[in-house]
Every structure is written in C-alpha cells, then in structure tokens.
Structure 1
Amino acid sequence: MSVHLLSEPLAAAYLTPGRLWSLVAALAGVIGVIAGGFALARLRSGTTRRAAIVALTAGLSGMAGGGFVVAAAEGGPGTGYGIVGGFVALVIGSLAAILGWLALSRARRAV
C-alpha cells in the first residue's frame, strides 16, 4: 500500500486552469502597466485620460483575477493551482492601478 499526498508537485510544463487564470490576470496587469506608463509620458496629449482609464481598469482586473486564483488555491507553490502567478498578478495589477490612478489624477489637474 502506498501513501499519496493530497498536494503532489506538478511539473511546471503543465498548464493547469489555475496557472492559466494567473497568466491571464498577470497579462491584464502588464497591459495596465504599459498603458499607465504611456499615460504618464503623454500628459498633454488627448489620449492621456483614456490610457489612464485603461490602466486603472486593467490593473483592477489583474488584481481581481490574481485574488481569485490565490483564494481558490488549495495547495502551495508547485502544486499546479497557480498561487505564485496569482501573487505576481496581484503585485503587477496593483502597480498598474497605481499608475492609472496617478495618470488620471494628473490628467484632471492638467485640464
């Protein structure tokens, strides 16, 4: 009789649903960081407000997706639940939301 662990490590080559969700959330955060950087770089342009809103929305979406993955994970790192990617998505999404908020507040003052 063999003993099976509840959370066995899963190779990183496998794309599980948890890892997929954390990748999607992290990608939303990266899109938000890029949009926030463009919005901060172009403070006098007409697209600043739109880019800031995109950054804020993408950042909040990345944070929500990362939080969902972390909350739903039943195991630690290496188990295939995507908990590490969820934490990465939370950090990147937070950064994107901060950049979007900062660009939006600066765009309002510039008008």
Structure 2
Amino acid sequence: MHTSAALTVAAEGGIIGDGRTGANLALGTGLLGLAIGWLALARAGSRISMGNARTNGMSAIAVGLAGTALAVLHLATSSGGPGTGNGLVGAIVAVPLGLGAVLLGRRALTRSRGATGRSIG
C-alpha cells in the first residue's frame, strides 16, 4: 500500500469504525505533537539537559505536520456537515492542534540553537 493510499484510508476511518475514526486519529496525533512540543520547549529553556531538545523539536514538527495532514485529508474526504456524525468538527479542531505542535517544535529548535551559541539565519 502506498503512503497516499494509507493516509486516505486512515482519514476516512479505515476498515473499522465510523467516520469519526479518522478525525480521532488526527486529534490524537495533534495532541501528541503538542505534548512533544511542550517537552521540547521546556528542555530547550533549561540549563540542565534532560534529553535532546533539538530532536524533540523536530519530532514535534513531524508529528504536528502528520496530524494536520490527516485532519485536512479527513476534511476533504468527509461528506455532510457538522453534526452528521462523520467527525467533521473533530477534524476542524485537529488542524490548529497540529499547527500548534509545529509552532512549539520550531520555537524549541530556535531556543536550542540559541543555547548552543550558533547564530540563527
């Protein structure tokens, strides 16, 4: 199965469940990206290293982009409107969650770069 076909199946809810499964997957991915982004941001600002803030920042960006892509794909393939039970509202909420994860990951990368003394730009 190709990547685009797998994303389409995931956004449509897959073989199991109803139309909300794809939106729930996008919501969970966006929330996971936000959690990784917050941890990366906390680690980038501290002087004591509890992990690699740079790696966590890049992970938050990747997971946030995946959540946003799943949400947009679900929005594009869902039929009906809000309140029909197909997960449209969940997908709408998942888009800013994924974008927030991307922003937190980028901010953590910027902070970690500044802490190592390298110039930005």
Same fold (TM over 0.5): yes
What's the CA shift for 1:81?
A: 2.0
Which aligned pairs between 1:52-67 and structure 2 lie closer than 5 A?
Answer: 52-67=57-72
In the alignment, residue 113 of structure 2 is paired with which amino acid? R
What's the CA shift for 1:52?
A: 0.6
Structure showing greater Rg: 1
1:90 alignment partner in structure 2: 95
2:75 alignment partner in structure 1: 70
1:81 aligns with 2:86: yes
CA deviations 1:6-30 (Å, max 9, x no partner) are: xxxxxxxxx51x3101111111111
1:34 alignment partner in structure 2: 35
What's the CA shift for 1:47?
A: 1.4
CA distance in 2, matches of 1:52, 1:62: 15
CA distance in 1, matches of 2:104, 2:20: 26
2:11 alignment partner in structure 1: none
In the alignment, residue 89 of structure 1 is paired with which amino acid? A
1:24 aligns with 2:29: no
Q: CA RMSD in A?
A: 1.3
In the alignment, residue 66 of structure 2 is paired with which amino acid? S
Question: Does the 8 Å contact 1:69/1:86 carry over to 2?
Answer: yes
1:7 alignment partner in structure 2: none
1:51 aligns with 2:56: yes
The alignment's TM-score, normalised by the length of structure 2, stands at 0.74
2:112 alignment partner in structure 1: 107
What's the CA shift for 1:80?
A: 2.5
4+ residue runs over 3 A deviation: none
**Percent identity of equivalent pairs:** 42
CA distance in 2, matches of 1:110, 1:93: 26
